[in-house]
Chain A
Amino acid sequence: MARGLSGWLAARAVQAMATLAVVLILLFVLMRIAPGDPLGRLASDRPITPAETAALRARYGLDRPIAAQFASYVQGAVRGDFGTSIEYGRPVGALIAERLPATFLLGGVVLLVNFTVGIWLGALQATNRGTLLDRLLTAVSLAGHAVPSFWLGLVLAWLVGVRWRLLPAAGMQNPLLDPDAGLAARTADLLAHLALPALTLCVVSLAGTMRYQRRAMIEVLRFPYIATARAKGVPESQVLHRHAWRNALFPVLTLFGLWLPILVTGAVFVESVFAWPGLGLLAADAVGARDYPLLMGTAALAAGLVILGGIVTDLAYAMLDPRVRAAA
């Protein structure tokens, strides 16, 4: 059985590599079919001589044949090297690495809230199905699903940040904070800055988790073994927590693959609204600056995360559910 699992994992990894390869080709094609020259914006800032343009084209390798450009792009991409950012003049990989901690911090908090609060609320709805509470929570989650994250972010920044002056509305730390402040003061400052962007992303992502968990739990509660447990006189709280919930948690794993793109995508808007110095803000700035290498690097990373999320989900299924393993 163990060999079956590792064989399955190897096959899945090969498939993922194939997908990633197609992703890289797609990204290259997307960039090259775009009308206009990546250096167009640099040139439009001030008069630029043909010699300078030629030097710039040579510097970014744009003067070479398209096949050679593709070959060196793939060679670089395999090593995680996406070239040099046009805007910053620094390697894309280094720029992305600098921004990762901020995005992971924000994304991690949002994931944690989804896993705890979202799942708890969804299960609560399922066990109180059809009641006022269930309908109220359904309405709230549907509304959350329909709210554009950038608008919610602006409204929260305006109300909580500016009107009520409760929390900072921009950045990751207070620039006026005493540089000698202790760890506790620094952490408190960081958490205060984290609160609004995290809240915004939680509101827009919780709806999906709650709906998924609610549906999964309702389905599990229909199974005959639940009726058996109830008939045997198992207390209802135990039926819910020991019998039903465990199996209802299972389908939520699928959400993990869905969350990753939402977090990366949602972060583009939320990070730009709150000036949170993560990957999303970097991508949004790259668009404004027409910085293709940087934009492609962030897109490739996002795609890699999505593919990885898919593997983790499948692996979790295969490890937890023997039926999946048998089918694979």
Chain B
Amino acid sequence: MSWLAQLWAAVWRRRSGRFAAVALATIALAAIVLPPVLPDPAAQPDIVAGATPPASAHPFGTDQLSRDVLSRVVSGARVSLAVAALAVLVSMTIGAAVGLTAGYFGGSVDALLMRIVDAGLAIPRLFILLLLLAVWERIPLPALVLILGTTGWFGASRLVRGEVIRLRHEPFVSGAEALGAGRRRVMFRHLLPNTAGPLLVAATLGVSDVILLEAGLSFLGLGIQPPTPSWGAMILDAKPVLVVAPWTSLFPGLAIVVTVLAVNLLGDALSDVLDSSGA
């Protein structure tokens, strides 16, 4: 815990880290607190009025179905952040497991796993996702999370493998082995915790990747399915009225930019801190 606390303190000392943390906390808080006080994101109170520009009743305006854009952006944040966090959790778990196995056992296990990783990295992730998603008429949300998660671990597994190979013959590992520590204990108690730093950076940058990918897929109609509001699908819905009601696509787009920017800044701050502390 103290390691995390130290890391956090170092990130907070950086201006970009502070900005990112405050921005993300604000977005997350808004996503949790605001929905009950905002109008129902699916409600269509005045479908004849259609899209109305931002005004005091609807700070972000309404879309062509008279739905409140602000409450849709906020609900979209909820979905987007949850999907990204869960997908990255899946990715990092697989990546750590594969990297640890390949780095610890080496030899033909390593060679086989790394060939698969090479191939996985060679196919642009978007194309793997397109192939997997094209079959679904409407993809259920858990399946989307799983698919995003299982296509994002290749880089992380390489990272962990590299760290494990570097640490494999360090005195503290040999010492533990000499004291009779078993394979499992060495792998999970001695090697894995020491890969936490790079893994944390990879996870943070992975979150921004997934937010952008999910938005893009939803924009193509393949990601999060209506009526669940999502930023990408909002921009897709707003496409036909872009000229007459630009606010309907402007606000969800800005939400993506601010969120991804904050996550990237946090990732940069983390990697700076870890680089300079030599961890």
Q: Which among A25, A148, A157 is the interface contact of B215 at CB below 8 angstroms?
A: A148
Question: Within 8 Å of chain A (Cβ to Cβ): is B118?
Answer: yes
Contact with A along B112-139 (1 / 0, CB 8 A): 0001101111111111101111111000
* A147 contact from B136, B250, B257, Cβ within 8 A: B257
Q: Is B235 an interface residue (CB 8 A)?
A: yes
Q: Are B122 and A303 touching (Cβ within 8 A)?
A: yes
Q: Which of A152, A286, A292, A299 contacts B123 (CB 8 A)?
A: A299
Residues of chain A lying within 8 A (CB to CB) of residue B216: 148-150, 269
What's the nearest-Cβ distance from chain A to residue B77, in Å?
15
* Residues of chain B at interface, number, CB under 8 A: 45
A158 touches which one: B125, B212, B221, B243 (CB < 8 A)?
Answer: B243
B100 proximal to A (CB < 8 A): no
Q: Contacts A142-B264, A147-B257 known; A154 to B115 CB distance under 8 Å? A: no
Given A22-B115, A22-B118, A272-B220, A158:B123 Cβ within 8 A: no
B249 near A151 with CB under 8 A, answer: yes
- The answer on a CB contact under 8 Å between A155 and B135 is no
Nearest neighbor of B112 in chain A, beta-carbon distance = A22
**Interface residues on chain A, size class:** 35 or more
Query: A103 CB to closest chain B CB, in angstroms?
Result: 13
Check A287/B134 contact, CB under 8 A, given A27-B123, A150-B235.
Answer: yes
User: Which residues of B are found within 8 Å of A19, using beta-carbon distances?
Assistant: 115, 118-119, 122
Flag B229-244 by CB within 8 Å of A: 1 or 0 each. Answer: 0001001000100110
Question: B127 contacts A298, CB within 8 Å?
Answer: yes
Q: Which of A34, A147, A287 has the most CB of B within 10 A?
A: A287
Q: Is the CB of A18 within 8 A of B242?
A: no
Minimum C-beta distance from A258 to chain B (A): 11
Q: Is the CB of B135 within 8 A of A142?
A: no
User: Which residues, 261 to 292 on A, are CB-close (under 8 Å) to B?
Assistant: 261, 264-265, 268-269, 272, 283-284, 286-288, 290, 292
Residue ID in chain A nearest B151 by CB atoms: A30
A145–B261 Cα distance when bound, in Å, is 8
Docked-complex contact B130 and A143, CB < 8 angstroms: no
Assess whether B128 is in contact with A299, with CB atoms less than 8 Å apart.
Answer: yes
Closest to A269 in B: B216
15 A-B contacts, Cβ less than 8 Å apart? A22-B115, A26-B119, A30-B128, A158-B243, A162-B242, A261-B124, A265-B125, A284-B220, A287-B130, A287-B134, A287-B220, A292-B134, A295-B127, A299-B128, A299-B131
List 8 tightest A-B contacts by C-beta distance, closest first: A22-B119, A151-B253, A146-B260, A299-B127, A146-B261, A34-B135, A261-B124, A303-B123
